[in-house]
Amino acid sequence: MNTVKSFWMGWGSLCLAGAGAYYFAKKSINADRAARLEEARRKKQMIDSLEYSNNVPSKPLSASTMGGSANGNGHPARTDTAGSPSQEASSDPAPTRHAPATEGQQVIEKSKYESSTPYRSPKGDRFS
């Protein structure tokens, strides 16, 4: 049969074992977090070093060397917009809508998903 002494000895050893497990688990978790943090810092530092490496010119280049007004062979720059969607969109051959000319048209103009007339709720008794 359990005595008072054995009862408290059992609970004390259980609490001591739980506290020890908590201590070592917390220590392990903190070590894992520190390792992950250090790995993330190392990765960020490597990305930053690649981004700001020495192959980036320190002084700004002229427009001709950057491909601005003339390229290296003396010919003017290419005006082909294929492969540049932002430039292709402005020269769309058949736009679905035109830009509003006046402010009044801008207020009145609706999208293709909006109804041309506003919704009017039916009047009268709805409970009969």
Q: What is the 3-state secondary structure (H, E, C) of 89-119?
A: HHCCCCCCCCCCCCHHHHHHCCCCCCCCCCC
Structure tokens at 61: 């280049």
CA 61 to CA 41: how far, in whole Å?
A: 33
pLDDT digits (tens, 9 = 90+) for 91-118: 656 556 666 677 767 666 666 677 777 7
Query: Would you mind telling me the total number of residues written for the chain in this entry?
Result: 128
Quick check: pTM over 0.85? no
Of the two residues 117 and 43, the one the predictor is more confident about is 43
Distances in whole angstroms, Cα of residue 95 to Cα of each of 47, 58, 110: 42, 44, 16
Structure tokens at 95: 């736009």
Residue located via tokens 């060397």: 65
